[in-house]
Amino acid sequence: MKKKFTFILAFFVLAVLSLNAQTKKAYTTSGGEIIFSFADINNQGNETGNIMRFSPFFNLQSNLNYDPNQNFGVYTGLAIRNVGFIYDDPNSSSVRKKFRNYTIGIPVGLKVGKLDGAFVYAGYEIEFPLNYKEKTFDNEIKEDKFNVWFSNRVPALYHTLFLGVNLPYGANLKFKYYLTNFHNKDFEETNSDGSKSKPYEFLEANVFYFALSFDLFKNTQLVDPVEARDTKSAALY
């Protein structure tokens, strides 16, 4: 059910984004993100072990923007994102875990400021996990690695909030916080001896990240095609 809902929602947003804007107030933009992620971690009272994770690849977003004037706008869109965190196990001096999700996100945001220059933006984004990967290292040697599509190890969706600033010439800085715990704490796995366990029962981790991107909101449709045609025709006479 989760798989079907994710694809239906993704198809709907892609269909909206594919529509041609009819006025210069509505337009589409796209861009990528370079993500530096961390996590708010609490494992039975232990809040240590958080390591920065760098993910520059496969973070893509396409936005449908509507700017009623030069100082205010709204937008939605569709994004695919590589997000996760790195964690040193507090119960071991040598074990490090790396967790990652590829997600599909749908943002709803507001933009305030000089929209053809510097402005701030903020909003909410819902994300649907697609592919989960987990790696285990012991003394820097990889001991285990697996990835699962639509895994029950993570929630069906993430609720997130974001705040950013768009700078002149297209540079963009964003902060994002995941309100939903990264893992599904109720997930059960079967051990080699047939017993059941919940590997993430006591691991609370809320991911947050800082991102750098370029041209995420840059409007290339500066002039309405009909208006440009009429202006050109008038100039001939």
- Give the span between the Cα atoms of 104 and 121, in whole angstroms: 20
Q: Tokens 């507090």 map to which residue?
A: 90
In 3D space, the residue among 105, 106, 88, 1 whose CA is nearest the CA of residue 38 turns out to be: 88
Asked whether residue 12 carries a pLDDT value surpassing 90, the answer given is no
pTM: 0.82
Spell out the domain ranges in the chain. 2-21+28-235
Question: What is the CA 17 to chain-centroid distance, rounded?
Answer: 17
- Give the span between the Cα atoms of 180 and 200, in whole angstroms: 14
Instruction: Identify which has the larger pLDDT, 225 or 43.
Output: 43
Q: Give percent of the chain with pLDDT exceeding 70.
A: 82
Instruction: Identify which has the larger pLDDT, 47 or 26.
Output: 26
- The encoded tokens of residue 225 equal 């095609």
Residues ≥6 apart with Cβ < 8 Å to 102: 58, 80, 81, 82, 129, 130, 131
Question: What is the CA 31 to chain-centroid distance, rounded?
Answer: 12
Q: What is the pLDDT of residue 48?
A: 74
Residues ≥6 apart with Cβ < 8 Å to 159: 124, 126, 178, 179, 180
Residues ≥6 apart with Cβ < 8 Å to 32: 59, 60, 61, 213, 214
Predicted confidence (pLDDT) per residue in 69-113, tens digit? 999 999 999 999 999 999 998 888 899 999 999 999 999 999 999
Average pLDDT, the chain: 86
Mean pLDDT for 148-166 is 97
Predicted confidence (pLDDT) per residue in 32-63, tens digit? 999 999 999 998 888 777 899 999 988 999 99
Average the pLDDT over each of 16-25, 50-59, 195-204 and give the range with the smallest value.
Answer: 16-25
Phi-psi map region of 215: left, alpha, beta (phi>0 left; psi -120 to 50 alpha): left
Q: Tokens 């006479």 map to which residue?
A: 237
Mean pLDDT for 177-191 is 95
Q: What is the pLDDT of residue 17?
A: 45
- Give the span between the Cα atoms of 119 and 106, in whole angstroms: 21
- Give the span between the Cα atoms of 126 and 121, in whole angstroms: 17
